[in-house]
Amino acid sequence: MAHLTVSVEYGLHCLLWLVDAGDTPLSSRDLAELQGISPSFVAKIFPKLEKAGIVVACEGVRGGYRLACPPEQISVLRVVDAIEGEKPLFDCQEVRSRCALFEDKPPQWATSGTCGIHGVMLKAEKAMRDELATHSLASIAAGFSHKIPETFVVEVRDWTQLRAENRKPGRRPKTPEPPP
């Protein structure tokens, strides 16, 4: 879990819209455009989420993605690991063994056990992972539900539904405006 990139933020925001969508699949393009982010960038995130069993792809003209399991079962840590991989927060370079006074043979006392700096970083990473594991998509969505007016949720559902209908073959496309 090295530096958390913007992919995690984009991925979490997209997943929160899927929480609200329930069993209705949403396309990665619609999720990106809804939020004003790059569709191609979002399209790179979803295969990772699918591989991790967080989302499932739904085929067809009105297809897209939906959550693979209830949002209570999807921790933020699981999303981070799916998108970023399980990389360590700190990559110890064993600097302690390279002291010029040791020449090419560091003494046992200098290299035995875990490096003190690495030990601190391991504790920090564990604390961060533990904290991320305590939060689920459902708990984050519950916090947003107190903030977002119900009318906005309806507008988003109408917008995504219109987008999906416009993808039907032979349908004359309408241009929906993103919700305010």
Is 120 part of a structural domain of the chain?
Answer: no
Q: Domain span at residue 31?
A: 6-90+136-166
172 inside domain:
no
158 falls within a domain: yes
Indicate the average pLDDT of the chain.
Answer: 87
CA dihedral of residues 146, 31, 81, 74 (deg, nearest 10): 50
49 in any annotated domain: yes
- Residue 1, pLDDT > 50, answer no
Kindly state the average pLDDT of the residues 35-45. 93
**124 occurs within a structural domain:** no
Q: Which helix (H) or strand (E) holds 58?
A: strand 55-58
pLDDT tens track for 107-149 = 888 888 888 898 999 999 999 999 999 999 999 999 887 788 8
H helices of the chain, in order, are 6-21, 28-35, 39-51, 76-84, 108-111, 116-133, 137-145, 150-166
pLDDT at 59: 85
Two structure tokens written together for 45? 């995130």
Q: Is residue 131 part of a domain?
A: no
* Percent of the chain at pLDDT exceeding 70: 92
d(CA 153, CA 145): 9
Asked whether residue 99 is domain-assigned, the answer is no
At 39, is the pLDDT very low, low, confident or very high (cuts 50, 70, 90)? very high
Q: What percent of the chain has pLDDT over 90?
A: 49
Rounded to the nearest 10°, the torsion over CA 21, 27, 33, 35 is 40
Tokens of 116: 């003190």
Number of folded domains that form the chain: 1
CATH code for the domain in which residue 41 is found: 1.10.10.10
Predicted confidence band of residue 180 (pLDDT cuts 50, 70, 90)? low
In a domain, 61, yes or no: yes
Burial 123-149, CB ≥16 within 10 A → b, else e = eeeeeebeebeeebbbebbeeeeeeee
| pTM for this predicted structure | 0.81
